[in-house]
Amino acid sequence: MHTFLDMSWKTILEYSRYPVAFIAMFAQIFLIVFMFIFATMAFRAPGEGLANHATFAGVMIYGTVTNLLLSFTLWDVGFSIREEQVRGTLESLYLSPARKFANLVSRVFVVLLWTGVMCVFAVLVVAAVVGGLPFDNALLAAVVLGFSISGFLGIGFIFAGLTIKLKESAQLLVNGVQFFFMIFSAQFFPFAALRSISPAIVDYVSAWLPVSYCVDAFRSLLVGLPAGYPELAPLSVEIPIVVAFGIVSPAVGYLIYKRAERSARRKGNLGEY
Amino acid sequence: MEGHSHGFGLASPSWRANLDVVVTVLIARLKVISRYKGSLVMEMFLPVVFAAMPILLGVAVGGANAGQYFQANTGTSNFKLYMLIGACTFSVVSIMLWLVGYWIRREQETGTLESIYLAPARQVYVLTGVTIYSLLRALLAFVVSLVIGSLVFGVNLLEGNVLGAIGILMLGLLPLWGLSMLFGAFIMRVKEANSVINVMTWVVSFLMGVFFPIAMFPPLLQWVAAIFPPTIMNDAMRASMLNLSTFFGSWYISLAVMFAAALTVPLVGYGVFTFTGRSVRRKEGVGQY
Amino acid sequence: MSSIIKVEKLSKTFESKERKKGQRRKLKTVQALKDVSFEIGENEIFGLLGPNGAGKTTLIKCLTTLLLPSSGKAWVNGYSVLDEEDSVRASIGCMLMGDRGLYWKLTGRENLDYFGALYHVPKAVRRDRIDKLADLLHVKDFIDRTVETYSSGQKMLVAFAKSLINDAPILILDEPTVTLDVPTARQLRTIVKELNESGKAILYTTHLMHEAEELCNRVAIMDHGEIIAFGTPSELKASLALDDTLDLEGVFPAKAVEAVRALSGVTQVAMKSKNGGKTSLSIISKSGGTILPQIIEALTHNRATIEQLRPKSATLEDVFIAKTGRTLDVDTRQIVVQRGEPGGGP
């Protein structure tokens, strides 16, 4: 616990020395949201106002929330190991008696804090532009989000292990995975759009990704379960999938991470750039 | 004090020696990127992924009438090609900003900047090598992404004036280079360069109207965006390939603005860049990172 | 002997903004170089000795045009560092401290080819020269592998080869042996001597006195941005001829050290911490033999424990200790003159 608090404080202190980065991230979210809003406006029927698309806007922005959480988890948890390698501080960290898991968990805590604020900001921006967003089933949606985050962290742990092995290629892989989920877990648009391109993509790719169910369940609940939502499966199926993902993923992820770490220590390439 | 004539390069280097610098810098960079094949491949696919998102958003919003609604708002029903051009043009802009604007900071990060400054080769020739390399990468990414995107989204690239679009792209690269130099000067001053560049990249894509016509902006923002060279380039390329009218209403005006930008922006950019470099060297030295 | 490097009253001041919690932002001025003047002759190995923070690297950077001085002048190979930068750069081969100046994804050979082009070395000559340098520095085994696979010693050797690629008349080496193992460092020093014998002038900075004594024709000792001693190693050591040096190891409480300092005849006392709570003491005195019993009494009376005692002949470090009262391995802070925010008062 002591290690966790120390390391969390160290991470917060590090981040606080980059105020420009902090502001830049908010500015980035603001711009991305506005770009998507303007892009959407280009497809409105003539004379139609944005308020007619409140549900759609909700689907988009709540899906974006899952994207933000997944992205930050991949980068700040998964890729943080690579950053330590590059900086040359990874070996020093391993030489310290502090528990490595505490290191990871402390990062998680700070990243979630940071990302949570970012998500709230993004939702508020869209709500302001559209003139209000649906916000139903908040408690159940929060539970779904909690298990989803846990599942995402498992993916982050897997990447933390992979970066020890892959080094420079890890960045590429993280980028690739990020984009893969963006499209195939339909984080920015309804699955219906993907289905209109090709139903096979949804049935044979999206439907096999636990992340898709996290996205679908979370946003469907918040927009009030209108007709056609959730899109992949009934809620009674999606929620157990999300819960199972949230429990199994971090356990598997942590095991993979430990294995990769042990292998690197055996081969002696922990500090290798 | 008398000089001593030992070694090479004490006399002014010949044009061959300067050309050698340009070619060596170019080849070295090509060698380096060839050892990062994954990054190159990612660069080709990224614009397609970026274009996919507003396309899918549009399909979700407009449904079967997506093309029709899009035409009412932009003048063309071919929203897939519209987004693809925007995304590919943006990738050119982004590559130039990162590779040219950021090159000094990247050399600082890798610890090679001081070694470059220690050599008598004029920075302008090293920069020329970097620029040619960046152009090659940008153009390769543009062409390949456009082709991949056309296959993925099922659009016909040859419907419009492709040659005209390429000509506009070439003309637009000059002010883009100048902007990269301004960018680079800014980066030399700023400590948290990565974050700033990430935001600037999104600001640029926003002002360019990558996924929408800038006519949708409020009036003041429209004009701010319209005098931004990458915006004019993007707008003119779309106009060429999709048979649209340009933001300025007339081809001549668009081309005139682009020519004016091509003449002035590179000079201003390079001037600011070299002035900033000298100022940084006076205060801190070039190795500081 | 004509001068190939001439430095006249060179100064460099750095300014930075310092913000302490609860206080107004202050402009902090650090004077890294103060009116440094010296000349280096052709075919000379000139040493620059001093602790970390003395200003050696700042001086090197001014001479190599990486940094513009605040005032003063310097000429390298007859060219002004202020106005004739390209010619200065063409006249020197340089290896900076902890040189990271290699591209990791290029091989050693590709790196040397790249930098050779930046020095305007013709392509055919470059190829030949790289092969010769690979032989000279025994790097043939790994020169065609990418730099990312090198050990730190291998990187330093290729960085050294980089400094030789243009066969310049002047070589500037800033702590070149700092990450090398003992045999490789010895090999590098042998090569430095051979290069000097072939006609190169070498400016060599180090904080290892034995290197300076082994290699250098003349040495300038720097501290706090100034040259505090200047001459051949023998001249500098001879300047301490009237003084004897006594080295002791043990445990020396502060009171004991003060008692020794207070003895008449003791010129300087410098302490250096070692592992396990022990300290080594260097005592410079006018007549070590006569004063020795008083030194021992002063120490033991104040509860010091002497484990080893040995007189030694003067070294360059002793010269430094005599001038400054510190050893060479102590990090020095630069002179700081604090001013308030401009326009904000003192």
What is the secondary structure of C120-145 as a DSSP string? T--HHHHHHHHHHHHHHTT-TTTTTS
Band of the pLDDT at C322, cuts 50, 70, 90? confident
Query: What's the average model confidence in pLDDT over C168-175?
Result: 93
Q: Containing H/E element for C243?
A: none
Q: What residue numbers bound the domain in which A121 lies?
A: 2-267
Whether B28 and C90 lie within 8 Å, measured CB to CB: no
Measured distance CA(A64)–CA(A71) in Å, rounded: 10
Highest mean pLDDT among A85-89, C17-21, C90-94: C90-94
> CB contact, 8 Å: C41 with chain B?
no
Band of the pLDDT at C22, cuts 50, 70, 90? low
Pair type for strands C226-231 and C279-285: unpaired
Q: Give the phi and the psi of residue C231 in degrees, each rounded to 5.
A: 155, -175
Measured distance CA(C113)–CA(C127) in Å, rounded: 7
> CB contact, 8 Å: C30 with chain B?
no
Domain count, chain A: 1
What's the complex ipTM? 0.84
Specify the CATH architecture of the domain C242-313: 2-Layer Sandwich (3.30)
How far from chain centre, in Å, is Cα A45? Answer: 33
- Predicted pLDDT of residue B1: 36
Place of tokens 């940008």: B138
Residue A134, in any domain of the structure: yes
Domain spans of chain B, in order of start:
15-283
Q: Using CB atoms, pick whichever of A32, A43, A182 lies closest to residue B58.
A: A43
Residues of A in contact with B51 (CB under 8 A): none
Closest-CA distance of chain C to residue B233, Å: 35
C330 has a pLDDT exceeding 80: no
Structure-token pair, residue C47 = 């040493």
Query: What's the average model confidence in pLDDT over C107-121?
Result: 94
Pair type for strands C218-223 and C226-231: antiparallel
Higher pLDDT, C90 or B5: C90
Band of the pLDDT at A35, cuts 50, 70, 90? confident
Measured distance CA(C100)–CA(B112) in Å, rounded: 7
- CATH number of this structure's domain C3-237, picked from the four choices 3.40.470.10, 3.40.50.2300, 3.40.190.10, 3.40.50.300: 3.40.50.300
C120 has a pLDDT exceeding 50: yes
Higher pLDDT, A61 or A170: A61
A265 has a pLDDT exceeding 80: no
- Predicted pLDDT of residue B192: 64
Whether C106 and B31 lie within 8 Å, measured CB to CB: yes
| Closest alpha carbon within chain C to B113 | C101
Q: Is there a contact between B156 and B245 (Cβ–Cβ < 8 Å)?
A: no
B&C contacts, CB < 8 Å: 136
Identify the weakest region by mean pLDDT among B11-20, C105-114, C331-340: C331-340
Higher pLDDT, A87 or B247: B247
Band of the pLDDT at A52, cuts 50, 70, 90? low
Whether C66 and B281 lie within 8 Å, measured CB to CB: yes
Q: List, as ranges, residues 63-102 from C with C-beta within 8 Å of B.
A: 64-68, 75, 77-79, 86-87, 89-92, 94, 96, 99-102
Partners of chain A (3+ Cβ pairs below 8 A): B
Residue A87, in any domain of the structure: yes
Q: Is there a contact between A242 and A217 (Cβ–Cβ < 8 Å)?
A: yes
Band of the pLDDT at A109, cuts 50, 70, 90? confident
A&B contacts, CB < 8 Å: 122
Query: What's the average model confidence in pLDDT over C314-318?
Result: 77
- Predicted pLDDT of residue A88: 55
> CB contact, 8 Å: A89 with chain B?
no
- In order, the DSSP letters of B249-261 are SSHHHHHHHHHHH
Residues of B in contact with C106 (CB under 8 A): 28, 31-32
Of C120, C123, C126, C170, which to mutate for an interface test with B (greatest number of B Cβ within 10 Å)?
C120
Domain spans of chain C, in order of start:
3-237, 242-313
Structure-token pair, residue B32 = 């380096």
Query: What's the average model confidence in pLDDT over A222-250?
Result: 94
- In order, the DSSP letters of C151-186 are -HHHHHHHHHHHHHTT--SEEEEESTTTT--HHHHH
Measured distance CA(B201)–CA(B198) in Å, rounded: 5
- Predicted pLDDT of residue C268: 87
Q: Which parts of chain B sit beneath pLDDT 50? A: 1-8, 289
Whether C117 and B21 lie within 8 Å, measured CB to CB: yes
Whether B79 and A168 lie within 8 Å, measured CB to CB: no
- Predicted pLDDT of residue A242: 97
Whether B24 and C114 lie within 8 Å, measured CB to CB: yes
Q: Give the phi and the psi of residue C163 in degrees, each rounded to 5.
A: -75, -15
Q: Which residues contact B42 (CB under 8 A, 6 or more apart)?
A: A172, A175, A176
- Predicted pLDDT of residue A50: 61
Mean pLDDT of chain A: 82
Query: What's the average model confidence in pLDDT over C241-263?
Result: 86
Q: Using CB atoms, pick whichever of B36, B49, B212 lies closest to residue A39.
A: B212
pTM across the whole model: 0.81
> CB contact, 8 Å: B61 with chain C?
no
Amino acid at C56: K
Identify the weakest region by mean pLDDT among A169-183, C11-25, C124-138, C274-288: C11-25
- Predicted pLDDT of residue B3: 38
Whether A20 and B191 lie within 8 Å, measured CB to CB: yes
Give A156-210 pLDDT, tens digit per residue. 888 878 877 776 667 778 888 888 999 999 998 899 988 988 899 899 999 999 9
Structure-token pair, residue A67 = 């994207």
Closest-CA distance of chain B to residue A8, Å: 22
C212 has a pLDDT exceeding 70: yes
Amino acid at C16: S
